[in-house]
Structure 1
């Protein structure tokens, strides 16, 4: 099992952390750990700490870092990624989301909340020149894959996509997995950045 270290603010913990990772695998530190972290450790750093930016820079060269926040914002997301973070999420997320986030960054992809993907899409479309139109990918995907990917690009969650298209969330995940493979990408952020 992946070792998880959480640098939190004094007095802040969430029961979902221990539920997600088996209590024995979670180490929380209000203070900076003095000993080196084991290889393969995923480090979660609470952005409420005054030293969170330093911690992200310090750990991102040796470990996968996810910044957790009680007030998600596009500005903080951008800063977390710029400093070397591989994920950004709500500190109060449920245990399933924590497991998904850790598994996602372990697989080499980024973890970004669906609620911020649309804002990020707008930001990226302003700063990255478009080399392709989204329609140019339509012939590489099945009709349903294209529909699912189009909605995912707009920042909609799997649940909302499933409800919109009258399919299950599992089917949405299958279509996104197939789309990522066909387009040679790993995650939703890369889907947005194709344009």
Structure 2
């Protein structure tokens, strides 16, 4: 019986568990050979060996949803990789955050961001957030500056309770400013991760 080239290459494949570097959420499972691992290390973007395509496949090469490598580990038997990544967009080709159909975990800041965007899209006269949007970018930016100054003063006075209060105000107004500019926390996170990966 003749063993095909694909069967031979498949026998040399190592499973790779892809995990979110910040949340530890498992995003997907893929397979790698020596060449795909070398490219992954060289480009800091996960490259698999695709069994269906029978070639190297960089996740995101068509969708733009790359998996940026943070760390690579092997298990105790040296037969499985654990690759921690910062994903760009959804991981699954079906448009879900993970290949297991799970949603992206959202902390309260992301939840608050959604509320602020809702106030922008659906104005309410009783909403302070809506009032800020109506006053425009200059007023919102001014509030960010004011709250930043308050944060500095409370930190210098070592008043931790007040520092928390003013930091909360700063983060809220910062989110309003991002929404005013058509930006999101994810844009800031992506830039921070880009800088991190360059180190």
**TM-score, length-normalised on structure 1?**
0.29
Structure index of larger Rg? 2
Bigger strand fraction: 2
**TM-score, length-normalised on structure 2?**
0.29
Bigger helix fraction: 1
